[in-house]
């Protein structure tokens, strides 16, 4: 009974987040036809299946939500079946967006790409959809996916170029509107440049990277520009780009990433000048130049992992300041407990989480992480010390938003392909360890899907 109630509650939350509960209320029964307008009772009409009523549609959607609320892949399948059964549903876009969101949260690029393309048919110029679908295709290695990534990257760039000339919404300040248009243009050039670079077209990649830097400089684009210049043997251009990436005065820049850029810069500089003599002067001069040119922008700063959509590209920080790259755990089952110091149930869940972790201590294919979601980190180390947790603790740094964590505590399991195959919001102490152990074993036994094929 309790489990059924919980499933119903989760289903209602999903329906609310999809905007479907208001839609239920708005649906009206079709009015009966007057006798004079009644359809002729031909044999052909008799063979046609009756159109589903709004009540049937609502019941089918409720059933899909309730049957799989805690299993994202199953929920996606159920919602796809709902759309196949009710292709003309007034809720079609809401359901598609939910499938899209679930696929992203589950790190299932094929499902996310398919639902994004269907949504683009309804919203051809949606910049969020366009940028996301570029990244999804760019993560795939086949030539057909690269062609599609390039197609959508060009569409995204065309949309970005038009944005600056469009009338500014009345409620958006002029400065904010201009910054948004500039950032979108820089992002579009960068994304298309990455596609070109992956496809081996370095001339077009460099052209896009340089246009991105001209619109809105970032250390990430500068590093990409340096990398491609090194491959082309253009050491002067590489040194210039790496110096910008290394000296970039960005507070949130990952120290380990900066260290990697420093090595690249040193290597290119020595190859060009046979020693590092003069490199320090170059770096200081570039830093001063960037401080002057970026003064107004750097007052606000950016968050870590900004713009990253693949969880395996996230770089998280441990309590001691060292980095943890989720890419190091690709191919493993990753179990994450999202928590905060102010969350009372999180204390108990943390201890139960550690019990489950101990069960799999000798299982190399499983990784457990306690992911902190506090905005103020000041009390986190002391909290962990007090609770005597032994699970690896990292700061979320946007991972909670990417994976759709809206409440604490929340436990997620990524399978060996990086898909979210289990999500539990809130704590049920009586069933927590049993349920989580079972779900981890199921994830370990889950067969890999077939390799991605072009559509």
Report pLDDT digits (tens) over 261-289: 999 999 999 999 999 999 999 999 999 99
CA–CA gap between residue 1 and residue 4 (Å, rounded): 5
**Confidence category of residue 50, pLDDT binned at 50, 70, 90:** low
Q: In what order do the strands lie in the sheet with 393-395?
A: 323-325, 315-318, 393-395, 366-372, 333-339, 410-414, 420-425
* pLDDT tens figures, 68-100: 666 778 888 888 888 888 888 888 888 898 888
**Is residue 34 pLDDT above 60, yes or no?**
no
**Is residue 183 pLDDT above 50, yes or no?**
yes
C-alpha torsion 329→335→341→342, nearest 10: 140
Is the pLDDT higher at 392 or at 45? 392
Average pLDDT in the 15-41 region? 39
Give the per-residue pLDDT at 175: 66
For the chain, the domains span 321-445
Residue 342, SS3?
A: coil
Average pLDDT in the 419-423 region? 93
Residue 285, SS3?
A: helix
**Confidence category of residue 110, pLDDT binned at 50, 70, 90:** confident
Listing DSSP states for 244-268 in one string gives: HHHH---TT--HHHHHHHHHHHHHH
Give the per-residue pLDDT at 320: 86
Helices (H), 68-173: 72-85, 92-105, 109-122, 127-138, 143-163
* pLDDT tens figures, 190-201: 999 999 999 999
CATH homologous superfamily, domain 321-445: Glutaredoxin (3.40.30.10)
The whole-model pTM stands at: 0.57
Sign of CA dihedral 278, 279, 285, 286: positive
Average pLDDT in the 320-349 region? 92
The closest of 278, 261, 268, 173 to 220, measured between CA atoms, is 261
Mean pLDDT of the chain: 82
Residue pointed to by tokens 């779900």 = 439
- Reading the block at residue 141, the tokens are 């290695």
**Confidence category of residue 8, pLDDT binned at 50, 70, 90:** very low
Q: Which range, 29-33, 89-93, 240-244, 300-304, has the best average confidence (pLDDT)?
A: 240-244
- Reading the block at residue 150, the tokens are 């390039």
Give the per-residue pLDDT at 422: 95
Using an 8 Å Cβ cutoff, are 341 and 380 in contact? Answer: yes
Q: How many CB atoms neighbour CB 66 within 10 A? A: 18
Determine what percent of the chain is predicted with pLDDT higher than 70: 82
**Confidence category of residue 303, pLDDT binned at 50, 70, 90:** low
Pairing of strands 410-414, 393-395: unpaired
Average pLDDT in the 157-185 region? 80
**Is residue 243 pLDDT above 90, yes or no?**
yes
Please tell me the least confidently modeled range out of 46-50, 192-196, 288-292, 381-385. Answer: 46-50
Give the per-residue pLDDT at 28: 34
Residue 425, SS3?
A: strand
**Is residue 452 pLDDT above 70, yes or no?**
no
Give the per-residue pLDDT at 360: 95
Q: Which range, 10-14, 137-141, 314-318, has the best average confidence (pLDDT)?
A: 314-318
Determine what percent of the chain is predicted with pLDDT higher than 90: 44
**Is residue 27 pLDDT above 50, yes or no?**
no
- Reading the block at residue 433, the tokens are 């360890």
Residues 6 or more apart whose CB falls under 8 angstroms from that of 286 comprise: 243, 244, 246, 247
């Amino acid at each position: 009974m309790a489990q059924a109630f919980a499933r119903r509650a989760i289903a209602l939350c999903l329906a609310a987040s999809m905007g479907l509960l208001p839609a239920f209320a708005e649906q009206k029964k079709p009015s009966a036809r007057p006798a004079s307008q009644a359809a002729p009772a031909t044999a052909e009409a008799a063979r046609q299946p009756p159109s589903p009523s709004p009540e049937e549609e609502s019941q089918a959607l409720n059933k899909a939500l309730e049957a799989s609320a805690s299993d994202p892949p199953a929920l996606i399948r159920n919602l796809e079946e709902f759309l196949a059964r009710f292709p003309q549903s007034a809720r079609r876009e809401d359901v598609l967006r939910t499938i899209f969101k679930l696929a992203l949260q589950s790190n299932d690029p094929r499902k996310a790409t398919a639902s994004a393309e269907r949504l683009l048919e309804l919203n051809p110029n949606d910049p969020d959809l366009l940028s996301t679908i570029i990244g999804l295709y760019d993560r795939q290695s086949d030539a057909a996916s690269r062609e599609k990534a390039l197609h959508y990257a060009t569409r995204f760039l065309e949309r970005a170029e038009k944005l600056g000339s469009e009338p500014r919404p009345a409620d958006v300040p002029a400065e904010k509107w201009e910054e948004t248009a500039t950032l979108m243009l820089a992002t579009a050039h960068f994304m298309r440049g990455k596609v070109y670079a992956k496809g081996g077209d370095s001339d077009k990649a460099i052209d896009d990277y340089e246009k991105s830097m001209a619109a809105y400089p970032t250390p990430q684009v500068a590093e990409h520009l340096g990398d491609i210049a090194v491959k082309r043997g253009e050491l002067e251009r590489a040194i210039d780009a790496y110096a910008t990436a290394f000296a970039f005065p960005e507070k949130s820049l990952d120290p380990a990433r900066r260290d990697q850029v420093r090595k690249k810069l040193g290597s290119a500089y020595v190859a060009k000048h046979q020693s590092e003599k003069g490199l320090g002067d170059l770096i200081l001069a570039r830093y001063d130049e960037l401080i002057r040119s970026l003064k107004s922008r750097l007052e606000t700063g950016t968050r870590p992992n900004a713009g990253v959509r693949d969880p395996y590209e996230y770089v998280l920080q441990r309590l001691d300041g060292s980095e943890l790259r989720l890419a190091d755990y690709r191919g493993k089952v990753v179990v994450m407990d999202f928590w905060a110091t102010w969350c009372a149930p999180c204390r108990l869940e943390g201890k139960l989480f550690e019990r489950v972790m101990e069960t799999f201590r000798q299982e190399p294919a499983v990784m457990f992480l306690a992911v902190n979601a506090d905005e103020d980190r000041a009390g986190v180390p002391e909290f962990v010390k007090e609770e005597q947790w032994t699970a690896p603790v990292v700061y979320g740094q946007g991972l909670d938003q990417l994976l759709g964590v809206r409440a604490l505590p929340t436990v997620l399991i990524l399978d060996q392909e990086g898909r979210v195959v289990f999500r539990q919001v809130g704590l049920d102490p009586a069933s927590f360890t049993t349920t989580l152990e079972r779900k981890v074993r199921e994830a370990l036994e889950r067969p890999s899907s077939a390799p991605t094929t072009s559509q």
